[in-house]
Chains A and B, each alone.
Chain A
Amino acid sequence: MLLVVTYSRAARTSLRNVCRTHTSSVARRLGRAALLEETEHGAFLALRLHEKHPETVQIDRTKPLNEFRDVPEPVREAASAYEDRANATTPYSAFAAGTPHPAPSALKNRDL
């Protein structure tokens, strides 16, 4: 989908108006941002906003995440195990220490 993020009040107002008028091309409204459908009309709306506010409208393209394809198993297991931890106040770094789970620094250094 197309992610449109606004960085000024004027751009945010324009985005709000576009979302209100073209609901069928808007997948999700998120305050100052919105996900537009990946159609030519969605692109048209996004580019129009960018033309109007060249400095304060940012457009990105998102793709769905399939964690079973895109995320290595140790990362998935770490997430699930950490959410299952006994003590809610344990930070992840302490939780991972001395276990097979990857350390935060290792997670940060590896691209998906």
Chain B
Amino acid sequence: MSLYEHVGVIAPGLSLSRRDALVAAARSLGVETSVDAELRALRAKLDATPKSVPSRADARRRVAETAADIEAKRERVATLRGRMQAGDGSVGATYREAIRTLSEAETEHAAAREALDDARERARAALDDRDRRMHLEDRLGNAERTARRELAATIRPRVDDATADAPGSDADGFDDADAVSAALALVKVGRVRRPVVLACGRFPDRDAAERWFGAPAYRVSSLVERCSDTAEE
């Protein structure tokens, strides 16, 4: 989020994500950090589309189905063998046919298992790629945290001073200040290209606001009337 998105409209009841806004103010000034080069390198690496991981579900299903098929055919062979052993001479041909289809099913099952092994092997290579990616993402997360910490630390003294100096502020620093004073300080220290909308009743007129900010501002007087009552709570 840009600094403007944080502090573009300053009015009582403003909800300010202080740390995010502080970091955004530092970014608006182009403050550099010790991890900028690392961040660029990591983002470039993560920009590449990850290898797709082949699904092994079809191969697994085939293994399960062929295994069930074998089971059924084995039972049939066993039944026929039992009848032959009991002296039933009429099943000889059927028995041989059952043995043949069982053997076919076994071949099919072996092929299915082999295909699954191949699929697993291919997936392993793709997962190695995901593995490396996840480590890069973790490093990126760490570097981003470091960058935010440094950005906030670099700009904080100036923002603390500006907060203490803001009209209507009775806080010594950014963290203790009300949201409006904190936002005013961020606009003063940071760089916003579009004029911010002021409806906080802290300045007598637009010129006064622009002089304090050193930046363009709109002043919405109708809102000021309405808000200045609540602003001085």
Interface residues of A (CB under 8 A from B): 7-9, 12, 32, 54-56, 58
Alpha-carbon separation in the docked complex, A57 to B185 (Å): 47
Closest 9 CB pairs of A and B: A7-B130, A55-B53, A9-B137, A7-B127, A56-B130, A8-B134, A7-B131, A9-B134, A7-B134
Chain B at the A interface: SS class? helix
Tell me if B85 is interfacial: C-beta within 8 Å of chain A.
no
Interface residues of B (CB under 8 A from A): 52-53, 55, 123, 126-127, 130-131, 133-134, 137-138, 141
Alpha-carbon separation in the docked complex, A13 to B186 (Å): 34
Q: How far is the CB of A94 from chain B (nearest CB, A)?
A: 31
Alpha-carbon separation in the docked complex, A56 to B52 (Å): 10
- Write out the residue numbers on chain A whose beta carbons fall within 8 Å of the beta carbon of B53: 7, 55-56
- Write out the residue numbers on chain A whose beta carbons fall within 8 Å of the beta carbon of B141: 9
- Asked whether, in the complex, the Cβ of B134 is within 8 Å of the Cβ of A12, the reply is yes
Alpha-carbon separation in the docked complex, A77 to B89 (Å): 57
User: 24 A–B contact pairs at CB < 8 A?
Assistant: A7-B53, A7-B127, A7-B130, A7-B131, A7-B134, A8-B130, A8-B133, A8-B134, A8-B137, A9-B134, A9-B137, A9-B138, A9-B141, A12-B134, A32-B134, A54-B55, A55-B52, A55-B53, A55-B126, A55-B130, A56-B53, A56-B130, A58-B123, A58-B127
- Write out the residue numbers on chain B whose beta carbons fall within 8 Å of the beta carbon of A54: 55
Q: How many pairs of residues, A versus B, come closer than 8 Å at their CB atoms?
A: 24
- Write out the residue numbers on chain A whose beta carbons fall within 8 Å of the beta carbon of B55: 54
Q: How far is the CB of A10 from chain B (nearest CB, A)?
A: 10
Chain B residue, CB-CB nearest to A6: B134
- Write out the residue numbers on chain A whose beta carbons fall within 8 Å of the beta carbon of B130: 7-8, 55-56
Chain A at the B interface: SS class? loop
Chain A residue, CB-CB nearest to B137: A9
Alpha-carbon separation in the docked complex, A58 to B56 (Å): 10
- Write out the residue numbers on chain A whose beta carbons fall within 8 Å of the beta carbon of B134: 7-9, 12, 32
Q: How far is the CB of A89 from chain B (nearest CB, A)?
A: 30
Q: How far is the CB of A49 from chain B (nearest CB, A)?
A: 14
- Write out the residue numbers on chain B whose beta carbons fall within 8 Å of the beta carbon of A8: 130, 133-134, 137
- Write out the residue numbers on chain B whose beta carbons fall within 8 Å of the beta carbon of A55: 52-53, 126, 130
Alpha-carbon separation in the docked complex, A9 to B131 (Å): 10
- Write out the residue numbers on chain A whose beta carbons fall within 8 Å of the beta carbon of B133: 8
- Write out the residue numbers on chain B whose beta carbons fall within 8 Å of the beta carbon of A58: 123, 127
- Write out the residue numbers on chain B whose beta carbons fall within 8 Å of the beta carbon of A9: 134, 137-138, 141
Alpha-carbon separation in the docked complex, A89 to B137 (Å): 36
Alpha-carbon separation in the docked complex, A7 to B127 (Å): 7
Chain A residue, CB-CB nearest to B126: A55
With contacts A7-B130, A32-B134 known, what are 19 further pairs, Cβ within 8 A? A7-B53, A7-B131, A7-B134, A8-B130, A8-B133, A8-B134, A8-B137, A9-B134, A9-B137, A9-B138, A9-B141, A54-B55, A55-B52, A55-B53, A55-B126, A55-B130, A56-B53, A56-B130, A58-B123
- Write out the residue numbers on chain B whose beta carbons fall within 8 Å of the beta carbon of A56: 53, 130
Alpha-carbon separation in the docked complex, A58 to B55 (Å): 10
Chain A residue, CB-CB nearest to B127: A7
Alpha-carbon separation in the docked complex, A32 to B133 (Å): 14
- Write out the residue numbers on chain A whose beta carbons fall within 8 Å of the beta carbon of B138: 9
